[in-house]
A and B are shown apart, each in its own frame.
Chain A
Amino acid sequence: MTDKPLPTDPFFKHTDLTPESAREIVKQGLKGADYGEFYQEVVERESIVKDKGEFTSVSVGDSKSGFGFRVGQEERVGYSFSDVFNEAALKDAVGRARQVLKDKPQAEEKQSPPKVATELYPQQNPMQNMELAEKIAKIDEIEAYVKQLDPRITNVTLQYASTSKNVHIITAEGDSLVDQRPNTALYIRVTLTDKDGKSETGMALTGGPVDCTAVFDESSWKKGAAKALHQAEMLLIAEEAPAGVMDVVLNHGWPAVILHEAIGHGLEGDFNRRGISVYSGKIGQQIAGPEVTVVDQGNLPGERGSLHFDDEGTPTQENVLIENGVLKNYMQDRQNAQLMGVEPTGNGRRQSYAHTPMPRMTNTYFRNGTHDPADIIKSVKDGLYIEDMGGGQVDITSGKFNMNCTLAYRIRDGKLCEPVKGATLVGDGLTVIKSITMVGNDLSIEKSAGMCGKNGQSVVVSCGQPTVRVSNMTVGGSKKQAPKAP
């Protein structure tokens, strides 16, 4: 949060620098640059794993810290990072990064962006409200509970991890910003084995930008355990997925990861600046039906992909990308915004201090439509209902994506029938978004899952949607007989 005085702990705990001296070196270092900043991070983490009755890992007191200094001129970026944060290292980093600069007239003084007012997630260490012994006891309790849920359970894995990412940015405008970004997760994995020795595994993730007490709350982990068990039970009786073209209904919530892949990535500013996205040059065009509105919003309270400001210090905001089917905006970091002559949108993100920022998503979702989810399922004669998805990938240039479905059901004559497994959905973004024929009124944003990879960098994101019907999707599955066309 920006309205607190800059604390010396944890950022200036083991260094000869002070907030003032660091700021002065950064200010000098950014002279002549079009954009750039100082980014510092102190990440604390702990994790506990219990697998098949054994504590296989107890890691407490993990810490990773360092800083990166960036200067940019037009398309050129110089970046140096270091684990060691002291005056010599900072000056050395500034000197190395500045090697890409060319002599240019001084860029004009920039205005500071407005200060962030609302607290989106708690500004405190998420690990400190429980002792290690209490966490271990909770994990034992959860394991004992899960094991007695079903006599067919042959394995339970519980994985707890909590991270506190402390971020300090000195922006090109000379502002010092600090933020504490908590993330706590409990992963529950259940394996069922039937009397023929056939086994399947179900899993659930709980948590988000919350304190550790939240994932050890009974109602939270009981819900997670029920979800993991349900998934394993269904997979145990599921048939192999069919192959062919059919109508698909996507459950609300996490299956929006298809939106993230098939549409979101193609709307990131860097690809569009280079004109290599399938969505390049299409601003203002009707690319989907009028019921389709897509938003990326980093300032939603309590959501997994939310940030008070991005990793360049720009406050996050609501960005309407597609409105009633019309392409409106791309997501931008500072570099691409400047090169495209638009404003940054608060989407400049990076994996860590050892990485340079680029345009990334935060919480990406479809706004509600008007249809009752039950009516959407009823409308399909012969198709597939996707209850849960794994993840996927996209090729932003051709727009082709692939998504793997963890658990799906056949729809016949408007009714949910047998579960199926191993389905892969493929298509291209421009076709799929045009093929969204019904949008439900039950928007839900995923709280606990979502890691996005791009150019080798991984960041925490979320996505959401109401129930959605997509007509004529290609489904890949290994069941031998292809279904008839709808």
Chain B
Amino acid sequence: MSRSKQDFLDEAHPLAESLLDYAKSGTTYGVTDAKVVISSNDKQEISVEKGEVAKSVSGVTYSVSITLYAGDRTISFSRNTMDEAELKEAMLKNMKALSVVPANPNKRLLESGKVFKGSDIDLNLVDPHPPSSEDLLDYAKQVEAAALAEPGVKGTRSVGVSKLDSHFLVLATNGLDHHESKTRYSASAQVVAEDASGMQIDGDSSVARHFNDMSKPEALGKSSAKSALAKLSATLPTTGEMPIVLDHDAAEDFFSAVYAAVDGTALHRGATYMKDKLGQQVMSSEVTLVDDPSIPKGLGSGLADTAGIESKPVTFIENGMLKAFNASLMESRQLGIAPTGRENGPTNGIIKPGAVTPDELISDIKEGIYIRGFNGGTVDVNNGLYSRQAYGNLIENGKITDTAVAGFVVSGNLKDMFMNVVLADDTPDMPSTRHQLAAPTTRINGVTIAGK
């Protein structure tokens, strides 16, 4: 039932053209330009419980977004219908409303000379061999069976696999005519482990553009169970100051704060402490963060953004120096800087590897915590406050111990924490089946732990 790229384009392209033509006929209302974005998502989701289908969900959703421009006045709407008459009726209402919208020149369409004209590059984002419903169900059953086979596992909260086929087309009067199609598979298991100390839940997941690149189901079931088992008998560590070491998941979470700090909206509002730090040292000189949309099969890959700007690799942090802010088209005009072609957010992030092995990174820590994950809390890039609940294992005399710790809070100020990171040499390869931001094992000295 899923639609191919050609099926989508055969329906969407003529509709978008017709809608643009209709918009151009609105000159009596002052319409000068228009942009139409059409997207469609086919979703299928299967979850299993006790070796049987627990839930099977499927459906298709559309969205048509239309922006009308009368010089510097802009109004938009979106509807999830492909019904041309209904869309034109809504467009006419907005044409009539355009005259009362205040002007904002920063919202204008991209200058036609700068519009992405297409390319021959194939990022391989569509699975050429999509699995059948039976394949998906079989995968989920194997994950569940492998998880339940681990001693100490009480049951599961959820085991599921999903498939998403998405397409989008953007057409505008500045000559923009761009479309992309992607497939995305994801699977996850949340497993409950139990011992005399009580129950613990945790899990693992896998995401890929091609179904064959997913983690093997047995491995995913096993690693999900292991995560939950590792939390059993967790205690609170002692309150105090100590070094922490972040595993790949926790490091990904931690370094995502860099994106918040270099965000164009935050910069425009003056709400990031990095606002006047361009060209200056903001992180340890070991840190280089490259955001690369051109990785084949990458979870964040794409050729251009919806504004029509070509997406190219951007180095935000180089040897600890702040090299660029992430600006959308509107933000670039507000700020007077170049747009980065990331209207829809960051793409694939890579923190370049450091100089030492993970073992060497830990070897001189007498007392510390190896962090496997963060939950909730505060990450404020304006004042730098960082305060997160975390879980993991104690580090003693240079080794990660079996003593699980959970329910404590890691606190510090990003201004210091970023300067104090030490990186291991184990950045995961891209594309990854778990990370959209690949970061190595990372040590941070001198953070505050609130425990018992």
Give which listed residue, B52, B106, B376, contacts A54 with CB less than 8 A: B106
CB distance from B208 to the nearest CB of A (A): 19
Residues of A within 8 A of B216 (CB): none
- Determine whether the beta carbon of A63 is less than 8 Å from that of B90: yes
Could you give 20 example pairs across A and B, Cβ below 8 Å?
Answer: A52-B269, A59-B77, A60-B94, A61-B93, A79-B58, A82-B60, A97-B56, A100-B53, A132-B100, A136-B101, A155-B271, A201-B382, A276-B155, A398-B200, A398-B406, A400-B406, A402-B376, A404-B378, A474-B451, A478-B411
- Chain A residues lying within 8 Å of B102, measured Cβ to Cβ, are 55, 136
CA distance A357 to B371 in the complex (A): 35
Cβ < 8 Å to A, chain B residues 219-264: 231, 234, 236, 239-241
Interface flag for B420 (CB, 8 Å): no
Known: A82-B60, A398-B406, A477-B411. A191 touches B269 (CB 8 A): yes
Q: How far is the CA of A58 from the CA of B76 in the complex (A)?
A: 6
Q: Which residues of B contact A81 (CB under 8 A)?
A: 57-59, 61
Identity of the chain B residue whose Cβ is nearest the Cβ of A352 in the assembled complex: B61
Residues of A within 8 A of B60 (CB): 82-83
A421 within 8 A of B: yes
Interface residues of A in 404-445 (CB under 8 A from B): 404, 421-424, 426-428
* Inter-subunit contact A60/B75 (CB<8 Å): yes
A479 cross-chain contacts in B, Cβ below 8 A: 448
Q: In the complex, A131→B101 CA distance in Å? A: 12
A266 vs chain B, min Cβ distance (A):
12
Contact check, B409 vs A426: say whether CB atoms are below 8 A apart: yes
**Residue in A76, A132, A421 whose beta carbon sits within 8 Å of that of B53 in the complex:** A76
Question: Does B338 belong to the interface (CB within 8 Å)?
Answer: no
The verdict on A51 contacting chain B, using a C-beta distance below 8 Å, is yes
Contact A475-B450, Cβ < 8 Å, known A14-B86, A60-B94, A191-B270: yes
- Whether a CB of chain B sits under 8 angstroms from the CB of A354 is yes
Q: Are B407 and A426 in contact (CB under 8 A)?
A: yes
Chain A contacts for B57, CB-based, 8 A = 79-81, 356
Of B171-179, B286-294, B386-394, the one contacting chain A is B386-394
B334 contacts chain A at the CB level, 8 A cutoff: yes
Interface string of A217-250 (1 = CB under 8 A from B): 0000000000000000001000011011100000
Q: Which of A80, A133, A241, A392 contacts B387 (CB 8 A)?
A: A241
Q: Are A83 and B378 interface neighbours, CB within 8 A?
A: no
- B380 close to A (CB within 8 Å): yes
**A58-73 vs B, Cβ < 8 Å mask (1 yes, 0 no):** 1111111110100000
CA distance A80 to B55 in the complex (A): 11
List 5 A-B pairs, minimum CB-CB distance, nearest first: A476-B409, A402-B389, A81-B59, A397-B201, A422-B385
B383 within 8 A of A: yes
Q: Are B408 and A404 in contact (CB under 8 A)?
A: no
**Is A199's beta carbon under 8 Å from chain B?**
yes
Chain A residues touching B, majority SS: strand
A14–B410 contact, CB under 8 A? Answer: no
Q: Report A380-406 CB contacts with B as 1/0, cut-off 8 Å.
A: 000000000011110111101011100
A399 CA to B83 CA, complexed, in Å = 48
Shortest Cβ distance from B193 into chain A, in angstroms?
Answer: 9
Collect the chain A residues with CB atoms within 8 Å of residue B63's CB.
64
Interface of B is mostly: strand
| Nearest opposing residue in chain B for A245, CB measure | B452
* Contact mask for chain B residues 428-452; partner A; CB cutoff 8 A; 1 contact, 0 none: 0000000000000000000011111
Q: Which residues does chain B contribute within 8 Å of A400, judged by CB atoms?
A: 389, 406-407
**Quick one: which of A78, A240, A393 contacts B56, CB cutoff 8 A?**
A78
- Which residues of A lie under 8 Å from residue B358 when comparing CB positions? none
Q: A residues 64-103 with Cβ under 8 Å of B?
A: 64-66, 68, 75-84, 93, 96-97, 99-100
Whether the pair B376, A404 counts as a contact (CB closer than 8 A) is: yes
13 extra interchain contacts, Cβ-Cβ under 8 A, other than A14-B81, A54-B106, A80-B58? Answer: A58-B75, A61-B93, A63-B81, A68-B59, A76-B54, A77-B54, A199-B382, A275-B155, A276-B201, A398-B198, A474-B409, A474-B451, A477-B387
Q: Flag whether B330 is at the interface (Cβ < 8 A).
A: yes
Cα–Cα, bound, A263→B393 (Å): 27
Nearest A residue to B388, CB-CB: A424
Which chain B residue lies CB-closest to A474? B450
Nearest B residue to A428 via CB reads B407
Are B55 and A77 in contact, with the CB atoms below 8 A?
A: yes
Contact among A52, A83, A278, A482 for B240, CB-based, below 8 A: A482
A contact residues around B79 at 8 Å (CB): 61-64
Q: Check: B192 CB closer than 8 A to any chain A CB.
A: yes
Q: Is A393 within 8 A of B375, CB to CB?
A: yes
A60 close to B97 (CB less than 8 A): yes
A398 nearest CB neighbor, chain B only: B200
B124 at the interface (CB under 8 A from A): no
Residues of A within 8 A of B5 (CB): none
Closest to B98 in A: A58
Q: Do the beta carbons of A402 and B199 come within 8 Å of each other?
A: no
Residue ID in chain B nearest A403 by CB atoms? B376
- Contacts of B49 on A, CB cut-off 8 Å? 75
Contact among A60, A65, A404 for B77, CB-based, below 8 A: A60
B284 within 8 A of A: no
Interface: B74 (CB within 8 A): yes
- Interface status of B296 (Cβ within 8 A of chain A): no
Provide the bound-state CA to CA distance between A59 and B389, in Å.
38
Find the B residue at minimum CB distance from A430.
Answer: B198
Interface magnitude class on chain A: 35 or more
- B239 near A155 with CB under 8 A, answer no
> What's the least CB distance linking B27 to chain A, in Å?
20
| A200 is an interface residue with CB less than 8 A from chain B | yes
Chain B residues, Cβ within 8 Å of A403: 376
Residues in B whose Cβ lies below 8 Å from that of A241: 387, 411
Q: What separation, in Å, do the CA atoms of A392 and B406 have in the docked complex? A: 16
CA distance A403 to B378 in the complex (A): 9
Closest to B200 in A: A398
The verdict on B157 contacting chain A, using a C-beta distance below 8 Å, is: yes
How long is the Cα–Cα vector from A313 to B155 in the complex, in angstroms?
Answer: 31
Chain B residues with CB under 8 Å of A123's CB are none
Decide: A61 near B409, CB < 8 A? Known: A66-B61, A99-B56, A193-B270.
no
B154 at the interface (CB under 8 A from A): yes
Residues of A within 8 A of B74 (CB): 58
- One digit per residue, 1 when the CB lies within 8 angstroms of any chain A CB and 0 when it does not, for chain B 168-188 equals 000000000000000000000
Closest chain-A Cβ to B270's Cβ sits at a distance in Å of 6
Q: Which residues of A contact B78 (CB under 8 A)?
A: 59, 62-64
Q: Which residues of A have CB within 8 Å of B231? A: 398
Contact B389 A476 (CB under 8 A): yes
Chain B min CB distance to A41 (Å): 11
Tell whether A100 pairs with B56 under 8 Å between CB atoms, given A58-B74, A200-B383. Answer: yes
Instruction: Say whether A195 faces chain B, with CB atoms less than 8 Å apart.
Output: no
Q: Which of B56, B269, B409 has the most CB of A within 10 A?
A: B409
Interface contact A55-B101, CB-CB below 8 Å = yes
Q: Is A480 an interface residue (CB 8 A)?
A: yes
A132-B97 contact in complex given A354-B61, A400-B406, A476-B408, C-beta closer than 8 Å: yes
Q: Which residues of B contact A60 (CB under 8 A)?
A: 75, 77, 93-94, 97
- A-chain residues with CB within 8 Å of residue B192 when the two chains form the complex: 276, 397
Chain B contacts for A474, CB-based, 8 A: 236, 407-409, 450-452
Q: How far is A167 from B192 in the complex, measured between Cα atoms in Å?
A: 36
Contacts of A54 in B (CB 8 A): 104, 106, 334
Write the chain B residue with the least CB distance to A244.
B239
Interface residues of B in 86-124 (CB under 8 A from A): 86, 90, 93-94, 97, 100-102, 104, 106-107
Q: Is the CB of A478 within 8 A of B100?
A: no
Quote the shortest CB–CB distance from A365 to chain B (angstroms).
22
A462 at the interface (CB under 8 A from B): no
Can you name the residue of chain A whose Cβ is closest to the Cβ of B57? Answer: A79
CB-CB under 8 A from B53, the residues of chain A are 76, 100
Q: Contacts A199-B271, A424-B388 known; A243 to B52 CB distance under 8 Å?
A: no
Cα A245 to Cα B448 in complex, Å, equals 14
Tell me if B56 and A79 are in contact (CB < 8 A).
yes
- Contact between B76 and A422, CB atoms less than 8 A apart: no
Q: How far is the CA of A193 from the CA of B269 in the complex (A)?
A: 11
